[in-house]
Amino acid sequence: MTEKFDAIVVGAGPAGNAAAYTLASAGLKVLQLERGETPGTKNVQGAILYSDALERIIPDFRNEAPLERHIIEQRMWVLDDDSAIGTSYRSEAFSSDRPNRYTILRAPFDRWFSEKVRAAGALVICETTVTELLQEGGRVVGVRTDREEGDIYADVVILADGVNSLLARKAGFHGELDPRNVALAVKEIHFLPEETLQGRFNIKGSEGVVIEIAGAVTHGMVGTAFLYTNRESITLGIGCLLSDFKKTRVPPYALLEELKQHPAIAPLIEGGEMKEYAAHLIPEGGYKAIPKLYGEGWMIVGDSAGLVNAAHREGSNLAMTSGRIAAETVIALHGKGLPCSQENLAVYRAALDESFVMKDLKKYRELPEVLHGNPHFFSVYPKLFNRAAHTMLTVDGEDKHSKEKTVRRSFVEQRSLLGLMGDAYRMWRATR
Amino acid sequence: MHIVVCIKQVPDSAQIRVHPVTNTIMRQGVPAIINPFDLFAIEEALQLKDRYGARVTVLTMGPPQAEVALRKAVAYGADEMVLLTDRAFAGADTLATSYALAQAIRKLGEEEPVDLVLTGKQTIDGDTAQVGPGIARRLDLQLLTYVSAITDLDPGGKTIEVQRRSEGGVQVIRTRLPALVTVLEGGSTIRFATMPNMFRAERQPVQQWNREQAGIDDVGKIGLKGSPTVVSKIFTPRAGNRRAKMIGAEMGSAGEVASAVLDLLGSEHPRFARELGLAAP
């Protein structure tokens, strides 16, 4: 086949769709290839949609996109075996006419996004796997697919093929994923009548609640859990680093089962009908694990590029933003008649560095290492905090001064004074 | 040679559930697919095209979304696609559907005479196997149902030879064209689309025909008005609770076992026994 495109986008997730939509809207000749039967069938996310990133691509998305609930309240819980301590923030301001975050279900959302890509003029071909990148003289010139006569050429190939990015690995752009840099997350969707859901979470209309969870449920592994309210369902999931799963040999589904039985969680999902189970890898290596993002005739975006802010559970917004910026880079070069050479594509990395994407990842660059080195953050502290709360909130004739002493002693016994100070320093350093 | 393949977009019945209270089909979230038997018809058409050269037109009647099914057929290698879509077609039973499709095929024949019409043996949602024969009757085509293979075709001499599954064996039938063949499952599975055909399927416009464009004047013959079939009730059959009886193989001769079976039938179903002339116990 001799057909040539201005750009080929591999993958139809948030990053790929953002790139393909932006390119096609600017009038470029775009081919998007997706291995799933339809866009969305292979894609897994929690899922929270951050409005800002999408708004910069499709400003009026709220009128058309299939959204579940807009988030007005975020709770953070730290669990012990049968207790939970936590904080929450709730605000009516999040119910403005332009809410900041939504829960979504990826299957319908991705279908919608892909329709927008098609309508913008991109050629979207599904059920087609890109098997390798075509290279000539060290330059990527196109892709080879699993179909007959399946070589297709383009000025630039944007890799949005997901966390594993087999293509980038095969082409030697980055190495094998380090299990310390990837989380394995599992989730279930439980259906509940809308009124039940609203009652349980103290919400009305399309308001929604997010609960981020850490503590005993991860068995001391580096990881967290989450509970999201959808329109008529609850998404409940848990994820830990792959390297920790390997060490503990705890099966992920067992963690999820324990989470569902926790006394703080069980009443929230009671009576729900489980409709969906999914598992996915999340690149959580952060700034230091980011591979080379561009080269001669290629760029890499989204999960494939490891652009996930694990500390804030943001990923799809980084994906969309990187896809958009990659596309804008190509559009600018195309407009000037310049080739998509490594030198010219450096603009992509520079623009990413200037955006919240790299600034945020850089801020937390030490976090993965600190968490690896301090497993007690996920085992010792949740217990200590829960017990402290229990001590202080139990009225039993003991005076408050003595209670405080008991609490202090429990901390010092577990971590020593120096240990506590070290932990505080390490957390500060990891998140400054 | 001009081949028309009639296909239908159906809900994937493997994923359908019946609402426990209302007994209606819950279609929400059920993916739409090409009727699996029609895939074998498409593949037969494409193999004839490979062997003898042919223009393959895929035809369907349905809502605008049905064009997805047509595009898929073009990705496999079909040449043209026609979608009959009009509110007037809604609610059609097999009689009305076969009329509308027959009219459309007649219309297609004006451009280039149609030599062969292919369909799947039946759809997985209706399971009637009536539309194919209905079209054949209306267009006066030779009808070959339950065909497992098209073994020979002579485009010049206008003859076709097929293998047809029948009770207890395979019939080899030769007849003249134009013919309508309903294709069984289990022949050649559908091919993997080539990249150029994937592109063509996305880019080629679908011919959308409404009632007038399909050459239909009589509204009384299509849609709900043209459908004498009445679905009076839908229900989920109760799971049977039948007992099984083992009649001892230790009893010896076949004759003894047969007598034991007849005795048992006679005692359980006296009327059956009377009709067979068996002595009531």
Q: Identify from A124, A125, A146 which residue to disrupt to test chain B contact, counting B C-beta atoms within 10 A and taking the largest count.
A: A125
- Counted across chains A and B, CB pairs separated by less than 8 A come out at 29
Q: Position of tokens 């290596």?
A: A285
* Interface contact flag, A147 B198, Cβ < 8 Å: yes
With CA atoms as reference, the chain B residue closest to A275 would be B29
* Interface contact flag, A150 B203, Cβ < 8 Å: no
Residue A37 contacts by C-beta under 8 Å, 6 or more apart in sequence?
A126, A127, B31
Instruction: With a cut of 50, say whether residue A163 has pLDDT above it.
Output: yes
With CA atoms as reference, the chain A residue closest to B193 would be A147
The answer to whether residue B194 neighbours chain A at the CB level (below 8 Å) is: yes
**10-residue mean pLDDT series, chain B (281 residues):** 96 76 69 93 97 97 95 97 95 94 96 96 91 96 96 94 92 96 90 96 96 93 91 79 74 80 82 72 46
pLDDT value of position B20: 62
Whether the CA torsion A395, A397, A399, A403 is positive or negative: it is negative
* Interface contact flag, B192 A128, Cβ < 8 Å: no
Q: Identify from B28, B50, B198, B202 which residue to disrupt to test chain A contact, counting A C-beta atoms within 10 A and taking the largest count.
A: B198
On the CB side of A107, CA atoms within 13 Å amount to 8
Question: Looking at CA atoms only, how far is residue A392 from chain B in angstroms?
Answer: 50
Cα–chain-centroid distance for residue A419? 32
Answer whether CATH 3.10.20.600 is correct for domain A180-283: no
- Over the range A187-204, which residues count as b (16 or more CB within 10 Å of their CB) and which as e? bbbbebeeeebbebbebe
Distances (CA, A) of A327 to A56, A272, A298, A340, B181: 13, 42, 11, 11, 51
* Interface contact flag, B198 A128, Cβ < 8 Å: yes
**Residue B163 in tokens:** 């293998």
Q: Which residue has the higher pLDDT, B253 or A406?
A: A406
Question: Looking at CA atoms only, how far is residue B73 from chain A in angstroms?
Answer: 14
ipTM of the complex: 0.86
* Interface contact flag, B195 A123, Cβ < 8 Å: no
**Residue B27 in tokens:** 């279609």
pLDDT value of position B278: 66
Lowest mean per-residue pLDDT among A46-50, A208-212, B104-108, B246-250: B246-250
Instruction: With a cut of 90, say whether residue A25 has pLDDT above it.
Output: yes
Q: 99-138 in A: which are within 8 Å (CB) of B?
A: 123-125, 128
* Interface contact flag, B202 A150, Cβ < 8 Å: no
* Interface contact flag, B196 A128, Cβ < 8 Å: no
Q: Identify from A35, A37, A105, A149 which residue to disrupt to test chain B contact, counting B C-beta atoms within 10 A and taking the largest count.
A: A149
**C-alpha span between A381 and A253 (Å, rounded):** 24
* Interface contact flag, A147 B194, Cβ < 8 Å: yes
pLDDT value of position A320: 98
Q: 10-49 in B: which are within 8 Å (CB) of A?
A: 31
Chain A residues touching B198 at Cβ < 8 A: 125, 128, 147
Chain A residues touching B193 at Cβ < 8 A: 147
Average pLDDT for residues A250-262, to the nearest whole number? 95
pLDDT value of position B279: 59
* Domain boundaries of chain B, sorted by first residue: 2-221, 242-281
Question: Looking at CA atoms only, how far is residue A60 from chain B in angstroms?
Answer: 25
pLDDT value of position A415: 87
Question: Looking at CA atoms only, how far is residue A3 from chain B in angstroms?
Answer: 9
From the DSSP assignment, how many helices (H) and strands (E) are in chain A?
A: 15, 17
* Interface contact flag, A148 B203, Cβ < 8 Å: no
pLDDT value of position B281: 46
Q: Please provide residue B35's backbone torsions phi and psi, each rounded to the nearest 5 degrees.
A: -45, 120
**Residue B49 in tokens:** 């095209």
Give the closest of A37, A123, A151 to B199, CB-based.
A123
pLDDT value of position B251: 66
Superfamily of structural domain B2-221: HUPs (3.40.50.620)
Whether the CA torsion B223, B228, B233, B236 is positive or negative: it is negative
pLDDT band of A31, cuts 50, 70, 90? very high
* Interface contact flag, B196 A1, Cβ < 8 Å: yes
Give the closest of B195, B202, B203 to A152, CB-based.
B195
Nearest 5°: the CA angle A267, A272, A273 is 155
Instruction: With a cut of 90, say whether residue A102 has pLDDT above it.
Output: yes
The answer to whether residue B195 neighbours chain A at the CB level (below 8 Å) is: yes
Chain B residues touching A134 at Cβ < 8 A: none
Question: Looking at CA atoms only, how far is residue B205 from chain A in angstroms?
Answer: 14
* Interface contact flag, B192 A148, Cβ < 8 Å: yes
Q: Which residue has the higher pLDDT, A375 or A298?
A: A298
Whether the CA torsion A317, A318, A323, A325 is positive or negative: it is positive
Instruction: With a cut of 90, say whether residue A396 has pLDDT above it.
Output: yes
Answer yes or no: are the C-beta atoms of B163 and B175 closer than 8 Å: no
Chain A residues touching B196 at Cβ < 8 A: 1, 149
Question: What is the pLDDT of chain A when averaged over all its residues?
Answer: 94
**C-alpha span between B161 and B175 (Å, rounded):** 7
The answer to whether residue B203 neighbours chain A at the CB level (below 8 Å) is: yes
**Residue A403 in tokens:** 């209670």
Answer whether CATH 3.50.50.60 is correct for domain A4-66+104-176+287-354: yes
* Interface contact flag, B199 A148, Cβ < 8 Å: no
Q: 137-156 in A: which are within 8 Å (CB) of B?
A: 145, 147-152
Helical H runs in A181-273?
194-201, 242-248, 252-261, 266-269
